[in-house]
Amino acid sequence: DIQMTQSPSSLSASVGDRVTITCRASQSISTYLNWYQQKVGRAPKLLIYGASTLQGGVPSRFSGSGSGTDFSLTISSLQPEDFATYYCQQSYETPLTFGGGTKVDIK
Amino acid sequence: QVQLQESGPGLVKPSETLSLTCTVSGASISSDYWSWVRQPPGKGLEWIGYIYYNVNTHYNPSLKSRVTISVDTSKKQFSLKLRSVTAADTAVYYCAREGRYSGYDFADFWGQGTLVTVSS
């Protein structure tokens, strides 16, 4: 199985901050990398697929980059509704695997 | 708009079979991939498996010996059966549609999730 490692596991930030979350795959996955946002008690929401393609309706302050084994999710200016847990997922091969999550909370 | 809704018992006894159904609206159940994902309380997400129209299934090897996913096109439902459950199978179970575009695969629509507790 491809292991996905996210860092940090949690971070505290303020509204307006620029936030970057990283995700590393245990082997090359090209750009088969998705990012999801999950709020407490809610289902995950797709933010980005193909490492950098924004899902429809997702604000442009979210962006993704990377290829091979190293990826990042950036929120350019953190908004109150962005406080949540973020997961990366590889879709290069089954079993599909998720990172452990990064919890973004209010400083 | 694609909508998914999980249903099934919220409590299952150890060693028994967990059975959940996901009802789909707004999409053709026979032309997409459909997934199950679970999340133990306070923990991360685990992919269980997906199915395409009863002809192509992929399961997580960690669960493969105990899992069956099937589709009922007449009811626009797909189902999950997990046999011989233990307390470690206690989780919120989500169903999701696997969207596909430009060769990429992603879960773009999700059910709200249902908590299944394994306990006697």
Say if residues A94 and A6 touch (Cβ distance below 8 Å).
no
**pLDDT at res. A107:** 86
**pLDDT at res. B110:** 98
**pLDDT at res. B54:** 73
List the single residue in B with minimal CA-CA distance to A88.
B45
pLDDT tens digits along B43-68: 999 999 999 987 899 999 999 899 99
Radius of gyration of chain A (CA): 13
- Determine if the peptide bond prior to B9 is cis (ω within 30°): no
**pLDDT at res. A92:** 97
Q: How far apart (Å, rounded) are the C-alpha atoms in residues B58 and B69?
A: 9
pLDDT tens digits along A9-55: 999 999 999 999 999 999 999 999 999 999 999 999 999 999 999 99
**pLDDT at res. B55:** 80
Say if residues B48 and B35 touch (Cβ distance below 8 Å).
yes
Residue A67 near chain B (CB below 8 Å): no
Give SS3 for A15.
coil
Say if residues A64 and A35 touch (Cβ distance below 8 Å).
yes
Regions in chain B scoring below 50 on pLDDT: none
Say if residues A10 and A103 touch (Cβ distance below 8 Å).
yes
The b/e string for B85-95 (b: 16+ C-beta within 10 A; e otherwise) is beeebbbbbbb
* Residue A78: pLDDT band with limits 50, 70, 90: very high
**pLDDT at res. B103:** 92
Q: How far is B100 from chain A (nearest CA, A)?
A: 10
Amino acid at B118: V
Q: How far is A51 from chain B (nearest CA, A)?
A: 10
- Which chain A residues are within 8 Å of B22, Cβ to Cβ? none
Interface probe with B: pick from A96, A98, A102, A103, most Cβ of B within 10 Å: A96
CB atoms within 10 A of CB A81: 9
Residue A43 near chain B (CB below 8 Å): yes
* Residue A70: pLDDT band with limits 50, 70, 90: very high
